[in-house]
Amino acid sequence: MVVSRPPGGDSGMHRTDTLDYDIIVSGQMTMILEDGEIVLDPGDAVLIPGLPHRWVAGPEGCVFSIVLLGLDPIASEQ
């Protein structure tokens, strides 16, 4: 899927039951994790294996592409 966030758009802290592959298409996005944050620019990509995370769009907003893959619920709990 392709997601567009307005400037300062905030997803709130959340966790998914998927393996997320996110690619920044345009703008800037900050990914906030429990132990720090990472600023991502166009062309940057991250792989999120069901960890709690939050997205905050940069001052010009952001467009990013997401590929979600289902995780094995039993493996996720280990």
Do the Cβ atoms of 9 and 58 come closer than 8 Å? no
Is 77 among the domain residues? no
Q: Whole-prediction pTM value?
A: 0.82
How do the pLDDT tens digits run along the chain, 78 residues long? 999 999 999 999 999 888 999 999 999 999 999 999 999 999 999 999 889 999 999 999 999 999 999 876 555 455
Is 52 among the domain residues? yes
Structurally, how many domains does the chain consist of? 1
- Other C-beta atoms closer than 10 Å to the C-beta of 27 total 21
Is 11 among the domain residues? yes
Is 28 among the domain residues? yes
Is 31 among the domain residues? yes
DSSP code for 17? S
Q: Which CATH number characterizes residue 6's domain?
A: 2.60.120.10
**Which residue range(s) make up the domain with 13?**
2-72
59-to-24, 69, 72 alpha-carbon distances in Å = 14, 30, 37
Is 78 among the domain residues? no
